Amino acid sequence: MAVPPKFMLRVIIAPEVAVKLTLTERPHSVEDLIKTLQEKCRPRLDYEFSIHYEDPDFDGQLCCLVDIEDLPEKGTLQVVRSEADNVSFESSDTEILPSTPFSNRLKTWPDTFNVPNFSYGVEHLLQEGNAAYEQRAEINYLPNFPKGEDATTLENVRLQLMQEVERSEKNLLLIDKLMQMTFALRRLEIVKENPMIGDFLNRWPALRIDSQICAEFHRITNINLRNQFYSGLDIHTPRLLNLIRQKAARTGKFSETLRAMMNLYDQQHELHADTKRTLILHGLPLYLREEEPQFFRVWNIEESPEPEISNTAVCVLTIINENSSSPMHFSPVSAAVIVEDQIVLGEINTFADAFVLLFGLVYVVHLDYPKKLVHTFTFIQKEVMGLEDGKPLKPCLNRLKNDLLLIE
């Protein structure tokens, strides 16, 4: 009688943390394997995740486990936390604050490194490695093609990907796997060809799925888009609220607009985290003396069947069903991201979510910051997201940074 295969797997559940998993038989599905892992590692895996395995067809590179038949009898698996599980998008009484601020996780390098002498061959390789290539987290980041792949083979994968996206019931795990495989091809198109955004998104329709915007941003920067945006924003929220309130008490056009926003904010019965984020994201440009009414658009679906988005380079569209002249709404029907007169991402729950996805889209499709909101987006880039570009802060941003450090 044949002995059923015994699966011996090393599962990486966190950086520098791995567990051994032994199975007497192959699970019936990937979902069953996930449940088994959650039971074994509870409570550490008490969240949604996917499983990646070392695919021998790609020289051991990690691929998302979609078909349970691909599970090796012996090998290494890696748990990858779901982007959608990383942060709650609904309004709640609890703000999302990191246990350790992003900037505090950066350690100072020593002033002097003792570099040993290497052989001529090693020195030559090191010299090549020091060439000025675009690096991860830079908007021009250009990775190599996967081993054994070229533009032709990846184009075939892209066509398969388009078919998967067009299905009524999308296999999101497979879409993520194919998007990961074709990442280098997309970056090549963006960096070298600089296509029209509409044409590019038609070629890569998966980027109209908000989870893929988050995933692509992570591929470029190695940063979780939503987690870092919200944690970075929320940690500054109490101080930003005070600064905006102080500015609103002064005279001048920007102060008057901020005062109207603060009055509307103070009328809210419950000040959820999302309510505060909405105020901060609307008020920050005014605090920095920036104004771009075309960026914050409102569409009242009771008054017009279609939004007025012609001649719109980029904007966040708030969708409401009530009569209101205010540009800021705390409980919209939904929100959307507009690029080049098109709704790129729609049916977004909150204004803050739409703003986050727009910021991610800037990196994904290589958009310029809105000209009249450069200071606002630079503040978010550097102080909220921790994405440095080596350029000094403008005086107004430096003052804001220093003001945020003051303790009242």
The average confidence (pLDDT) of the chain is 84
pLDDT at position 45, please?
Answer: 78
pLDDT at position 44, please?
Answer: 72
**Residue 13 scores a pLDDT above 50:** yes
| pLDDT tens, residue by residue, 68-79 | 888 888 888 998
pLDDT at position 118, please?
Answer: 59
Q: What integer is the mean pLDDT of 338-343?
A: 92
Instruction: Give the domains, in start order, of the chain with CATH numbers.
Output: 7-81 (3.10.20.90), 136-221 (no CATH), 225-405 (no CATH)
| pLDDT tens, residue by residue, 283-326 | 999 999 998 888 999 999 999 999 988 888 999 999 999 887 77
pLDDT at position 93, please?
Answer: 44
**Residue 104 scores a pLDDT above 90:** no
Q: What integer is the mean pLDDT of 18-30?
A: 87
**Residue 96 scores a pLDDT above 60:** no
**Residue 89 scores a pLDDT above 50:** no
pLDDT at position 405, please?
Answer: 85
pLDDT at position 211, please?
Answer: 94
| Residue 357 binned pLDDT confidence (cut-offs 50, 70, 90) | very high
**Residue 110 scores a pLDDT above 70:** no
Tokens of 278: 């909405």
**Residue 146 scores a pLDDT above 80:** yes
**Residue 16 scores a pLDDT above 70:** no
Residue owning tokens 């074709």:
182
**Residue 125 scores a pLDDT above 70:** no
CA distance 380 to 392: 15
**Residue 85 scores a pLDDT above 90:** no
**Residue 178 scores a pLDDT above 50:** yes
Strand-pairing partners, residue 21, are 9
| pLDDT tens, residue by residue, 198-239 | 899 999 999 999 999 999 999 999 999 999 999 999 999 999
| Closest residue by Cα to residue 267 from 95, 259, 88 | 259
Contact 9, 40 (CB under 8 A): no
**Residue 245 scores a pLDDT above 70:** yes
Q: Which residue has the higher pLDDT, 178 or 48?
A: 178
